[in-house]
Amino acid sequence: MSENTAKVLKAEATEAVTVVQFRGLELEIPKSMEDWPLEVMEAFEREQFAVLLADLLGPNQWKAVKGLRLKVKDLGNLLEEVLSQAGLTSGNSES
């Protein structure tokens, strides 16, 4: 088992988080949408996706993401990955 895999499994088992791998970053988010900050849902309803990601990731992880100097399409890819980890896809919601 690789060191990264071990870290992911440990985080998921002990901290109720899931790890999203993106461009070399390991971004931790709460496993369940029920544990996401309320601001994340508000940003989602307003379609403010950069705000959604910033609120979900927290200041340190968001700073790391911004350090990647992403384009809008790249941010969309990150959002898709986060929503996929939460069990959401375009037009679907968690049941």
- In angstroms, the CA 70 to CA 73 distance is 8
pLDDT tens for each residue of 4-62:
555 555 554 556 888 999 999 999 999 888 889 999 999 999 999 999 999 999 999 99
Domain boundaries, the chain: 3-85
Q: Report the Cα 86 to chain-centroid distance in Å.
A: 8
Answer yes or no: pTM beyond 0.85.
no
